[in-house]
Amino acid sequence: MTSIRRGRGSEASRALPLQYWGVRRVLGDGWSIDLYGDWTAERAKGGGTTWCAPGRTILVVPGAPWRCADGADIIASLDAHLPPGPTLKLGEGGRGGIGHRAAWVYHHDGDVGSTLHGYTFIDETYLETVFTDTHSGDLRWAYDAWRSVTRSAT
């Protein structure tokens, strides 16, 4: 198994298998995300891109630009279009060029274990990312990936 070392010092330089370090993936329009493991991308029906790994999918859809609306209005609009009954709603302040982030989390019975609908906002646009895990209700990987979404100047 291939491994790499990061940083200096005994704690930071431990060798870890390559699969445990995120690979920065380009999502388009300046957006990118850190994903761990083997992922493949394909065009989604209705626009956007679907990223797939065993038991996990991420649907990436650029949000519509907005003007003359504040964050509360935008969040209320998104909330109205999402499925009812989320297990959790989460909002976070941004950093590194990100204005703020918002997420709705759902735990399901049946084939789909959990879903995180994540939104990352900058200036006058946002990126929607829908993370689905069919193996378990553990969405730690989805939270990490959602929080890694950034946008560079295009």
Long-range contacts formed by 115-123: CB under 8 A, 24+ apart: 116/142, 116/143, 116/146, 117/82, 118/142, 118/146, 118/149, 119/63, 119/78, 120/31, 120/94, 120/146, 120/149, 120/150, 120/151, 121/71, 121/74, 121/94, 122/94, 122/97, 122/98, 122/151, 123/99
Residue 118 has pLDDT above 60, yes or no: yes
Query: What pTM was computed for the model?
Result: 0.79
Percent of the chain exceeding pLDDT 90 equals: 40
Q: What domains does the chain contain, in order, with CATH numbers?
A: 11-151 (3.40.1000.10)
**Model pLDDT for residues 10-37, shown as the tens digit of each residue:** 333 334 344 445 699 999 889 999 998 8
**Model pLDDT for residues 95-108, shown as the tens digit of each residue:** 777 778 889 999 87
